[in-house]
């Protein structure tokens, strides 16, 4: 039986008096590719940040490989939302990815090793950015920027990779490249992907969690009308490249 990588038990997180997530139970096993979808404000990012140990639980627990988060934090890589990043800071692609090699508790006069630099060179090749190593991040396209963030997350050599909307601000070609990269990475590590992209849900992930403050579905990545009604209030069709692509079973009258 595969190891349980993430175990979320009756998790509730409040912001002030408002519950961001409530009573969530979720298990993720080694080698899985889990997609998490839901409406804006439904708690998806909060769940990721709680798994990472950034947000403290109000109630319930999160364990990583059967232990408290603090003991296993170094096993996790994180790709934050594109919109949350400052893109005008004067730093190169190589330097950004290199920061992923900084370990907790580093001391003054810290310097990177030759091994650190070699790891970054290999990661940039892995994500297809070798030619852009010395480019300023302000000069990157959306897709290039996201690949850089993925490379930085991989610099810690994670066993669990968490990504928050990695294709939200990229073009169609970059989106397919990123999903192809994640598919390859899933052969080496467990992946949790937060997304609004229903194409990813239907075509790439192995299992699906639907979150709207509470977990309304957890299982195979086939969206039914009932699940979508719980999430969004009406049935939804996916539009891919301007062409309707149904990921739901046929439904009757639209909302």
Question: pLDDT by residue (tens digit) across 68-97?
Answer: 999 999 999 999 987 556 788 899 999 999
Tokens of 70: 């603090």
Say which residues have a Cβ less than 8 Å from residue 39's Cβ, sequence separation at least 6. 212, 231, 232
Using alpha carbons only, how large is the chain's radius of gyration in Å? 19
Every domain of the chain and the residues it spans = 4-221
pLDDT over 80 at 38, yes or no: yes
Q: Are 143 and 178 in contact (CB under 8 A)?
A: yes
Q: How far is CA 151 from the centre of its chain?
A: 13
> Shortest CA distance to 166 belongs to which of 148, 184, 154?
148
| 104 pLDDT tier (thresholds 50, 70, 90) | low
Distances (CA, A) of 98 to 93, 120, 165, 197: 9, 6, 22, 30
Q: Indicate if the alpha-carbon torsion angle 180, 184, 185, 190 is positive or negative.
A: positive
The number of helix segments (H) and strand segments (E) in the chain equals 8, 12
Q: What is the pLDDT of residue 79?
A: 96
48 phi-psi bin (left φ>0, alpha ψ -120 to 50, beta other): alpha
45 phi-psi bin (left φ>0, alpha ψ -120 to 50, beta other): alpha
| 252 pLDDT tier (thresholds 50, 70, 90) | very low
How far is 8 from 160, CA to CA, in rounded Å? 15
Phi, psi for 158 (deg, rounded to 5): -75, 155
Q: Are 143 and 169 in contact (CB under 8 A)?
A: no
Question: pLDDT by residue (tens digit) across 89-99?
Answer: 899 999 999 99
Average pLDDT along the chain: 87
- H helical segments located in the chain: 44-52, 69-72, 93-99, 114-127, 142-154, 172-185, 198-203, 225-232
**Neighbour tally for 116: CB within 10 Å:** 16
Query: Which helix (DSSP H) or strand (DSSP E) does residue 114 occupy?
Result: helix 114-127
% helix, strand, coil for the chain, step of 5:
35, 30, 35
| 197 pLDDT tier (thresholds 50, 70, 90) | confident
Domain 4-221 = CATH 3.10.150.10: no
What global pTM score does this model have?
0.87
């Amino acid at each position: 039986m595969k190891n349980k990588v993430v175990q979320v038990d009756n998790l509730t997180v409040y912001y002030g008096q408002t519950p961001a997530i409530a009573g969530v139970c979720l298990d993720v096993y080694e080698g899985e590719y889990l997609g998490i979808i839901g409406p804006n404000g439904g708690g998806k990012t909060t769940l990721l940040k709680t798994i990472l140990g950034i947000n403290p639980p109000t109630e319930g627990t999160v364990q990583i490989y059967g232990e408290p988060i603090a003991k296993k934090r170094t096993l996790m890589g994180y790709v934050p939302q594109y919109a949350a990043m400052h893109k005008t800071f004067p730093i190169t692609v190589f330097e950004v990815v290199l920061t992923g090699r900084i370990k907790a508790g580093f001391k003054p006069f810290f310097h990177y090793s030759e091994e650190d630099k070699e790891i970054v060179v290999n990661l940039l090749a892995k994500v297809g950015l070798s030619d852009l190593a010395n480019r300023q991040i302000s000069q990157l396209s959306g897709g290039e920027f996201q690949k850089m963030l993925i490379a930085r997350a991989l610099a810690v050599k994670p066993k669990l990779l968490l990504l928050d909307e990695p294709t939200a601000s990229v073009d169609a070609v970059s989106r397919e490249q990123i999903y192809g990269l994640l598919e390859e990475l899933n052969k080496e590590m467990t992946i949790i992907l937060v997304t609004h992209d229903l194409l990813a849900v239907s075509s790439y992930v192995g299992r699906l969690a639907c979150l709207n403050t509470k977990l309304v579905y957890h299982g195979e990545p086939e969206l039914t009308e009932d699940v979508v009604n719980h999430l969004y209030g009406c049935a939804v069709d996916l539009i891919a490249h301007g062409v309707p692509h149904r990921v739901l079973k046929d439904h009757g009258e639209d909302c």
